[in-house]
Amino acid sequence: MSEARSHIFQRLRAVPRPEVDTTGRDYIPIYQWDKAERIKRFTERMQAVRAEVHHCDRSSWLSKVAELCRVKGLTNLLVSPTTEWGQALYQQAESLPSLTGYDQPIEAWKQEMFYGIDASLTSTLGGIAETGSLILWPNSDEPRMMSLVPPVHFAILDTEQLYTTFAEAVQAQDWLAQGMPTNALLISGPSKSADIAQVLAYGVHGPKELVVILV
């Protein structure tokens, strides 16, 4: 990191965080959805925009990923070896396509990343039932490129982290206290755009397929 950039970050981080009181905000939607209802609505909304949603548990998700890789004809899978899900995949590597780790700067393997990776698998910070969205906070273990570049993106969502609304997720995970990352993502389905003639096209700026594994 350059000295100028470091200096800018130091100045930004030195600014005190303001106290924000959200308790009196009446525009935040409130629903009484139990876990089953949240899963149902999340699934409906994701499938409405062509995302795949598979209901699994911690004993079956790995075999489901292996099965989907076979069905889709994937030859490799980009996955972090340091996350809980990545470590489990590496332990069962014989049943999966070739596993690739994101363990070097993008400049060193840009060609392979953009033209040689079939799919990636990432964790998620949570999900939002009201909108059918995934929450991702990319970091050095799972950079944003992992959910942006490969044609197929597998995302693992722990249903204990599936919230009714975005506001509930912010409150439950205490985002105000811990501070926002430099890059936070809300993903609702595969990449899509209607910029040209208002015709909806999928896979224009990112993955053509989004596969959500609920555990």
> Of 23-27, 34-38, 112-116, 207-211, which range is least confident?
23-27
Q: How confident is the model at residue 194 (pLDDT cuts 50, 70, 90)?
A: confident
Cα–Cα distance, 46 to 129 (Å, whole number): 9
pLDDT at 212: 98
Q: How confident is the model at residue 29 (pLDDT cuts 50, 70, 90)?
A: low
Determine the residue type at 124: T
Residue with structure tokens 């489901």?
64
73 pLDDT more than 90? yes
The rounded mean pLDDT for the chain is 91
pLDDT at 195: 82
50 pLDDT more than 90? yes
Residues 44-58, mean pLDDT to the nearest whole number: 96
Q: How confident is the model at residue 15 (pLDDT cuts 50, 70, 90)?
A: confident
Residues 163-168, mean pLDDT to the nearest whole number: 92
Q: State the pTM of this model.
A: 0.86
